[in-house]
Structure 1
Amino acid sequence: MDIAFVSNVVFPFVKGGAEKRIHEIGTRLAAAGHDVTVYGRHFWDGPQVTDHEGVTLYGVAPSRDLYADERRSITEALEFSARLLPDLRRNVERHDVVVASLFPYFPVLASKLMTLLTDTPLITTWHEVWLDYWDEYLGRLAPFGKAVERLTAKAPHYPIAVSSVTADRLAELGPSRDAIAVVPNGIDVDQIETTDPARDGFDVLYAGRLIEDKHVDLLLEAFDRVAETAPDVTLGIIGDGPERDRLERQVRSLEHADRVTMLGFLEEYTDVLAHMRAADVFASPSTREGFGITFAEAMAADCTVIAADHPESAAAEVIGDAGFLASPTADDIARLLERTLEGERPATDPARRAERFDWDTVTEQAERRYRRAINREW
């Protein structure tokens, strides 16, 4: 197969979940003998078109900041889409399939415009579907965001969602639920299992963005209660985001503030894995997760996972009975923290559950779906 991925950000020059998925799947497909091209911004040094780990990187636009006032820049997405058009138009016919990553939406629409001129099928990969979350994210401009999301969902294409929760939400926008394939995000199980535990690790760990939907404030409140009767227990918080200042103030107000450490954003992924390997419990009461990659990583690190039970989170789908679900309240989180710190383990071994999300397995699923799209057998 000749496979083209479209993503304005390119791993490892920009590090995020969507671009890492393309990198992990793309490099494995290239190693298996497929031709793989990634159309993205020119974040790397050197020529516009270059080879990276067997994958052709095609810079259709210069590097640029992706955010404006902590929100993804609309003008960046529009500019990238406009610059994508001529390069993709010249090359689209040589590709067997084009795989465009959401979010943002405009490059997907640009890709669709180009594939309309050929028989090349378009696959979209949906990591999240926002629906009413646009009201919170864009305020008075929310109708614009909703309209573009709906237009993208209704454009003829082959949709892949990273979880059933995301697929169900996408189906609300138009595509038949039966037409939406689910191919999860992945992890490198071997890398996680062979990472040495951090020497300065914590009993309880959180890793992720510090945003309101993650509800780290509830975890802090719950931990402070548990620390009352567990004198040696410690909590580490890895991550950064708009809630960081507020959460640091909350930590200072805790009775057991000396046992909570805010580590901020860790540049090296292996440092995050090392802390997971050292922790007994990984807790993240997030109520909005299109997939929840940290749950899979923590299970592979043999942590007991505590996640939130919420209809907008795929946590239950990811952890199954290899972890525990709490209602997003400090009381319920504290209850489960107490039980897990006392040694209670889930019914299924977390490390074994994590194996289903290994990148090799995920790539096999993606490859089958790409072939089905090419053969019009979706």
Structure 2
Amino acid sequence: MDLGFVSNVVYPFVEGGAQKRVHEIGTRLAADGHDVTVYARHFWDGPPETTHEGMTLRAVAAETDLYTGDRRSITEAIDFGARLVRPLRAGSARHDHDLLVVSVFPYFPVLAATLASLGTETPVVTTWHEVWCEHWEDYLGRLALGGKLVERVTARVPQYPIAVSEGTADGLARIGPPRSEIAVVPNGIDVARIRRATLPEGATGYDVLFVGRLTRNKNVALLLDAFDGVAAEHDVTLGIVGDGPERERLRRRASRLSHAERVDFLGFLDDYDDVLGHMAAATAFVSPSTREGFGITFAEAMAADCAVVAADHPDSAADEAIGEAGFLVDPTVDALSETLDAVLRGARPPGDPTERAERYDWDTVASQATSAYRRAITGQW
């Protein structure tokens, strides 16, 4: 197969779940002898076109800021989408592709790829990590209608859609294609790498760990209060890995806890293996997030044999990710405190976390994605 992936940023030059998925699947396809080209902004050093781990990286636009304040830049997304059309049009690329695979967010690249493929037989596969719908109200406020409209239009253009979870597929079916036409291929993890992970030199492990972007929907404030409620009964510590717009507010809240000295904010850790090392050392991984398109940290924590505690919420795919290999709780302080207390006393979930994590290994995920790509090419979706 000859595949063109579209992602405005490229892993590992810019960290992130969507671009890591492209990297992990793309490098495996390249290693199996397929031609893989990634169309992106020029975030790497060197010429606009280069080879990286068997894939061709082709810059269609210059490096630029992806965020305006705490939100993704709308102008960046529009600019990148506009610059994509000419390079993707049949005959303008160095070779025509059998398939285009487009990361949906920030939407405009999907519209550009669809426009570029008009009049050709090149199918467009889209990868949906989340469907926001009403969440646009929280994200954009009075501009939410524009976000909803662009999302809905993107869902309805001709495409072969892949969702990263059943929950995301159900959300997509409410605004776009029939549920029967949406394939589900989860995000993945490197199970072997996680199992080899050790604490960074000189680091202290934490009994309870959170890893993620510090935003309101992650509900880290809830975790802080729940941890404080059980800390009197347990000689335990809490480590919070990540950064985001809620950082300072959460630090102030933590400083007012009765057991504030047991809480550390580690910030964003540049070395992924350091994050994995902290997971391997923790007893419990707790993320009461109420919005997760998949929740890759749940899979990573299960592979590290942590007891995972997640929020039971209709906008989160945590239940799908962990199954019976973790604990689902109402996103309240009392419910979280009760479950956290039980875990610190030795409670384990009914299912085996490490066994559950095996289904998300990148080799398995890449094989599922490859099968889906072949179905799109042959029209047997």
Secondary structure at the aligned position of 1:94 is classed as coil
- Specify whether residues 218 and 92 from structure 1 end up closer, same or farther in structure 2 by C-alpha distance, changes over 3 A only: farther
Per the alignment, residue 7 of structure 1 pairs with 7
Post-superposition Cα deviations, 1:222-254, rounded to whole Å, max 9, x if no partner, equal 000100111x11110011111111110111100
1:204 to 208, 224, 233: 208
Post-superposition Cα deviations, 1:70-107, rounded to whole Å, max 9, x if no partner, equal 11111111111111111111129710100000100111
Per the alignment, residue 56 of structure 2 pairs with 56
Rounded to whole Å, the distance in 2 between the matches of 1:210 and 1:346 is 27
- Alignment map for 1:180-219 (pairs within 5 Å): 180-198=182-200, 199-219=203-223
Tell whether 2:368 aligns with 1:356: no
Per the alignment, residue 257 of structure 1 pairs with 260
Larger displacement relative to structure 2 (57-66 or 87-96): 87-96
Per the alignment, residue 65 of structure 1 pairs with 65
Tell whether 2:148 aligns with 1:175: no
Secondary structure at the aligned position of 2:338 is classed as helix
Post-superposition Cα deviations, 1:117-167, rounded to whole Å, max 9, x if no partner, equal 210000000000000111111111111111100000000100000000100
1:221·1:330 contact (CA, 8 Å) conserved in 2?
yes
Rounded to whole Å, the distance in 1 between the matches of 2:119 and 2:272 is 41
Per the alignment, residue 289 of structure 1 pairs with 292
Per the alignment, residue 121 of structure 1 pairs with 123
Tell whether 2:251 aligns with 1:248: yes
- Alignment map for 1:49-198 (pairs within 5 Å): 49-89=49-89, 90-91=92-93, 94-198=96-200
Larger displacement relative to structure 2 (137-146 or 286-295): 137-146
1:92·1:115 contact (CA, 8 Å) conserved in 2?
no
TM-score normalised by structure 2 residue count: 0.98
Rounded to whole Å, the distance in 1 between the matches of 2:102 and 2:328 is 33
Secondary structure at the aligned position of 1:344 is classed as coil
Rounded to whole Å, the distance in 2 between the matches of 1:92 and 1:237 is 46
The Cα RMSD (Å) is 0.9
Rounded to whole Å, the distance in 1 between the matches of 2:156 and 2:88 is 22
- The letter for the 1-side match of 2:287 is S
Rounded to whole Å, the distance in 1 between the matches of 2:45 and 2:216 is 36
- The letter for the 1-side match of 2:119 is L
Please list every run of 5 or more consecutive structure 1 residues that lacks an aligned counterpart in the other structure. none
Post-superposition Cα deviations, 1:19-70, rounded to whole Å, max 9, x if no partner, equal 0000000000100111000000011111111100000000011100000121
Larger displacement relative to structure 2 (82-91 or 45-54): 82-91
2:85·2:116 contact (CA, 8 Å) conserved in 1?
yes
- The letter for the 1-side match of 2:14 is V
Secondary structure at the aligned position of 1:119 is classed as coil
Q: How many angstroms does 1:197 deviate by?
A: 3.4
Secondary structure at the aligned position of 1:283 is classed as strand
2:86·2:116 contact (CA, 8 Å) conserved in 1?
no
Per the alignment, residue 29 of structure 1 pairs with 29
Q: How many angstroms does 1:298 deviate by?
A: 0.3
- The letter for the 2-side match of 1:144 is G
Please list every run of 5 or more consecutive structure 2 residues that lacks an aligned counterpart in the other structure. none
Rounded to whole Å, the distance in 2 between the matches of 1:91 and 1:167 is 32
Per the alignment, residue 343 of structure 1 pairs with 346
Rounded to whole Å, the distance in 2 between the matches of 1:150 and 1:91 is 29
Per the alignment, residue 278 of structure 2 pairs with 275
TM-score normalised by structure 1 residue count: 0.98
Post-superposition Cα deviations, 1:151-194, rounded to whole Å, max 9, x if no partner, equal 00000100000000100000110210010000000000000001
Rounded to whole Å, the distance in 1 between the matches of 2:114 and 2:174 is 21
Rounded to whole Å, the distance in 1 between the matches of 2:58 and 2:331 is 43
Tell whether 2:311 aligns with 1:327: no
1:93·1:118 contact (CA, 8 Å) conserved in 2?
no
